Structure 1
Amino acid sequence: MTLSAPYFEQLFAESDDPWAFKTRWYEQRKRDLTLAALPRQRYRRVFEPACANGELSLRLAQRSDAFVGMDLCTKAVTLARERLAHLPGIDVLEGRLPKDWPQGRFDLIVLSELAYYLTPGELAAVIQRVLASLTADGAVLACHWLHPIEGCAMDGRQVHAQLAAQLPLQRLVRHEEADFVLELWTATPHAFDLDERTLQGTAP
């Protein structure tokens, strides 16, 4: 990892919301776009590494039967647990990628503003972990800031190029703006919730 755990511990020592996830319209809108890009209304089990203080986690957990979050920062884990405490099926772990990875299978894995903190080699290892734990009908959503970040080995564009090259999945969604890119890959060609009439070619 290009930035160490103490870096993130210091950020959270200074603020419970160091990136202003709760207050910035940019972050609120990006969360809405992230949730809108998900092809299913509900998921069986979701994993979000680098969950920070749990703002996106809350929205993901509300659309899943079980949710697993992870962060390497102890205070972030505490904040996320508090944020999600009222919901069932929640587990927020302290861990560091790519070494630490929760057991079990997931039908949605969300890599949000995470991968540029990894080296290309670490990201390759994470991709292998993703593929090993993704269900046969699962999806991977990634969203990253496009501008260079001091101390990081890659920017968002390089991250998404590596994901596209190393994920043997079908890209279902791509949304790019001046500041960020959001993509979703799926293991199955029909990833959206479709009722029987739609599958038979009948108009909704």
Structure 2
Amino acid sequence: MSNINDPKQYFDQLYKDNDDPWKIRNRWYERRKRALTLATLPNDRYARAFEPGCGNGELTALLAARCDEVVATDISADAVELTRQRIAQFDNVTVEHMLLPDAWPEGKFDLVLLSEIGYYLDEPQLWHIVEHVRRTLTPDGTVVACHWRKPMEGWTHTGEDVHARLRGRMGLPLLCHYWDDDLLLDVWTPDKRSVHQREGSM
């Protein structure tokens, strides 16, 4: 089903007959991964977040409760429509059909989430993403990357490859690193203070 030379075709086909191809809504693995992702965020609230590869919008809806504004994008028009349906009750989320890294939203972000998209990018595209992040991240912003560790049929890079490359090029202090047998999760931010330090004295 996959076509490593055409990710857009791959995702268009993936969503053609299935509105939840990875069972993101109900699988405990996916629900746990979302909880871990949100738990690693060093700030309780963010002004403006960017979530590329929003899929069917399950993480997007959770981000909407933690952010004043969320910009979510996906390469698949079907995924964009599913996310719009999922976040219909929120007025602080914008969902756009966008092909990264050729396009990138305007403005600054204090939170960027790179979740499960790195495998589908070749090395120049991944560096282009990092350049976009550096250009649009606020001075106290947070970057989160989360990827599946195991090999993926039809795709060259694993999550291990993606995170090794990101750690080498992000150019920001690594605040948090989590791994288990399934996934990797890294958090970068110029603000190296811990969550406790950010809150100050009790």
Which TM class, normalised by the smaller chain length?
A: over 0.9
Aligned residue in 1 for 2:61: 58
User: Per-residue displacement from partner, 1:77-130 (whole Å, max 9, x unpaired)?
Assistant: 001011111112211010111101000000000000111110011101100001
> Are 1:3 and 1:117, in contact at CA under 8 Å, matched by a contact in 2?
no
Which residue of 156, 169, 172 corresponds with 2:172?
A: 169
> Are 2:50 and 2:72, in contact at CA under 8 Å, matched by a contact in 1?
yes
Q: Runs ≥4 in structure 1, deviation > 6 angstroms?
A: none
Structure 1: runs of 5+ lacking an equivalent? 198-203
Structure 1 residues 86-95 or 70-79, which shifts more? 86-95
Aligned residue in 1 for 2:44: 41
Alignment of 1:75 with 2:78, yes or no, is: yes
- Count residues with an aligned counterpart: 198
Aligned residue in 2 for 1:128: 131
> Are 1:48 and 1:69, in contact at CA under 8 Å, matched by a contact in 2?
yes
TM-score by length of 2: 0.94
Aligned residue in 2 for 1:154: 157
CA shift at 1:195, angstroms?
3.0
Distance 2:188 2:11 in 1: 29
SS at match of 1:92: strand
Aligned residue in 1 for 2:28: 25
SS at match of 2:195: coil
Letter in 1 for 2:63: L
TM-score by length of 1: 0.93
Alignment of 1:195 with 2:199, yes or no, is: yes
Letter in 2 for 1:62: A
User: Per-residue displacement from partner, 1:117-165 (whole Å, max 9, x unpaired)?
Assistant: 1001110110000110000000100000011112223110010001000
Distance 1:143 1:161 in 2: 12
Could you say what the CA RMSD is over the residues aligned between the two structures, in angstroms? Answer: 1.3
CA shift at 1:23, angstroms?
1.2
> Are 1:46 and 1:106, in contact at CA under 8 Å, matched by a contact in 2?
yes
SS at match of 1:168: coil
Distance 2:26 2:191 in 1: 36
Aligned residue in 2 for 1:182: 185
Distance 1:174 1:132, change over 3 A: same
Letter in 1 for 2:199: D
Identity of aligned residues (%): 42
CA shift at 1:3, angstroms?
4.2
Distance 1:127 1:87, change over 3 A: same
Structure 1 residues 148-157 or 99-108, which shifts more? 148-157
User: Per-residue displacement from partner, 1:23-78 (whole Å, max 9, x unpaired)?
Assistant: 11100011111110111110000000000100011111110000000001001000
